[in-house]
Amino acid sequence: MIEKMKLLHIAGPREDIDRVVKLYLNKYEIHFENAMTSLGSLKHIRPFVETNVYKEVAQRGRELKQYLEADKPGTVIMRAMQAQVIIDEVYGQIEELHNGQKELQGKILKLKEWIAEIAPFIGLDFELSKLKHFKFIDYQFGRIRVEDYHKLERYIFKNPYTLFYECNNDSEYVWGVYFVPHTHLQEVEAVYASFHFEDIEISEEFEETPRQVCEKAKEELAACQQELELLQMRTVELVRNREDEILSACESLESYCRNFDIRKYAACTQAKEGEGEYYILYGWISSRDADKLIQEISEDDKIHWEEEEGDRSVNPPTRLKNPKILKPFEMFVEMYGLPAYNEMDPTLFVAVTYTLMFGIMFGDVGQGACLLVGGILLYRFKNLRLAGIVGVAGIWSVVFGFLYGSVFGFEEILPALWMKPMDNIMTTLMLAIGFGAALILLAMILNIINAVRAKEYGRLLFHQSGIAGLICYGFVVLCVLLFITGHGIPATVLICAAVGVPLLAILLKEPLSGLLERKSDIFPEGSKIMFLVEALVEGFDVVLSYATNTISFVRVGAFALSHAGMMGVVMTLAGLEKGNPNWMIIVLGNLLVAGLEGLIVGIQVLRLEYYEMFSRFYSGSGKPFVSFNKRNQ
Q: What is the DSSP letter of 520?
A: S
pLDDT, mean of residues 180-208: 87
Q: What pLDDT shows up at residue 524?
A: 61
**Average pLDDT for 49-70:** 83
Q: Binning pLDDT at 50, 70 and 90, where does residue 274 land?
A: low
Give the CA count within 13 Å in the CB-facing half-sphere of 84: 10
pLDDT at 67: 82
Distances in whole angstroms, Cα of residue 348 to Cα of each of 329, 450, 476, 533, 575: 8, 15, 28, 41, 44
Instruction: Give the mean model confidence (pLDDT) for residues 437-444.
Output: 94
Q: How many CB atoms lie within 10 A of CB 264?
A: 15
Average pLDDT for residues 545-574, to the nearest whole number? 91
Q: What are phi and psi of 303, to 5 degrees?
A: -110, 130
pLDDT of 376 above 90: yes
pLDDT digits (tens, 9 = 90+) for 145-180: 999 888 888 888 788 888 889 998 888 999 999 999
pLDDT for residue 567 is more than 80:
yes
Nearby residues of 205 by Cβ (< 8 Å), 6 or more positions away: none
Q: Could you tell me the pTM of the whole model?
A: 0.73
- Cβ contacts of 421 within 8 Å, gap of 6 or more: 363, 404, 428, 557, 560, 561, 564
Whole-angstrom Cα distance, residue 452 to residue 460? 7
Strand order in the sheet with 163-169: 163-169, 173-181, 137-145, 198-199
Enumerate the domain spans of the chain: 117-219, 347-424+552-617, 456-550
pLDDT in tens, 576-598: 877 788 999 999 999 999 999 89
Over the chain, what is the mean pLDDT? Answer: 86
| Residue 166, beta-bridge partner list | 176
pLDDT of res. 458: 82
Phi-psi region of 456 (alpha: psi -120 to 50; beta: other; left: phi over 0): beta
Amino acid sitting at position 540: F
Among residues of the chain, what percentage have pLDDT more than 90?
A: 35
Which ranges constitute the DSSP H helices of 500-527? 500-507, 509-516
Radius of gyration of the chain from its Cα atoms, rounded to whole angstroms:
42
**Predicted confidence band of residue 492 (pLDDT cuts 50, 70, 90):** low
Output the 3-class SS for 309-353: CCCCCCCCCECECCCHHHHHHHHHHHHHCCCCCCCCCCHHHHHHH
Query: What is the DSSP code string of 432-447?
Result: HHHHHHHHHHHHHHHH
DSSP letters, 30-81, are -EEE-HHHHHTTSTT-EE-----TTHHHHHHHHHHHTTSSS-PPPSS---HH
| Angstrom distance (rounded) from CA 105 to CA 90 | 22
Give yes or no for residue 538 having a pLDDT over 80. no
Write phi, then psi, for 279 (nearest 5 degrees): -95, 155
Of residues 236 and 554, the one with the higher pLDDT is 554
Say what the pLDDT of residue 390 is: 94
Amino acid at position 397, single letter? S
> What is the model's pLDDT at position 273?
60
Q: pLDDT-based confidence at 132, cuts 50/70/90?
A: confident
* Predicted local confidence at residue 204, as pLDDT: 79
Least confident of 439-453, 497-511, 591-605: 497-511
Fold exhibited by the domain 117-219: Alpha-Beta Plaits (3.30.70)
Position 528 scores a pLDDT of 64
3-class SS of residue 525: coil
Would you say residue 121 has pLDDT above 80? yes
Q: What confidence tens digit (pLDDT) does each residue in 95-115 have?
A: 888 888 899 999 999 888 888
DSSP conformation letters of 90-152: HHHHHHHHHHHHHHHHHHHHHHHHHHHHHGGGTT--S-HHHHTT-SSEEEEEEEEEHHHHHHH
**Given a cut of 80, is residue 401 above it in pLDDT?**
yes
- End-to-end, the C-alpha distance of the chain in Å comes to 26
Question: 498: burial class by Cβ within 10 Å (0-12, 13-18, 19+)?
Answer: middle
Please compute the mean of the pLDDT values over residues 489-511 and round it to a whole number. Answer: 68
Amino acid 439: pLDDT:
95
Pick from 49, 26, 81: nearest CA to 632: 26
- Asked whether the beta carbons of 416 and 404 are under 8 A apart, the reply is yes
Q: Is the pLDDT of residue 633 over 60?
A: no
Q: Binning pLDDT at 50, 70 and 90, where does residue 522 land?
A: low
Task: Tell me the CA distances in angstroms from 94 to 182, 351, 408, one per residue in order.
Answer: 56, 59, 70
Closest CA to 435 of 544, 543, 557, 560: 557
Q: What is the pLDDT of residues 301-359, one digit of tens each?
A: 889 888 875 555 678 999 999 999 999 999 999 999 999 888 899 999 999 999 999 99
Residue 167 main-chain phi, psi, to 5 deg: -105, -35
Three-class SS of residue 285? strand
Residues 6+ apart with CB under 8 A from 124: 165, 167, 177, 209, 210
Q: Cα torsion for 420, 422, 423, 428, to the nearest 10°?
A: 80
pLDDT of residue 460: 87
Q: How far apart are CA 468 and CA 243, in angstroms?
A: 72
Which residues, at least 6 apart from 163, have a Cβ–Cβ distance to it below 8 Å? Answer: 156, 178, 179, 180
pLDDT at 123 over 70: yes
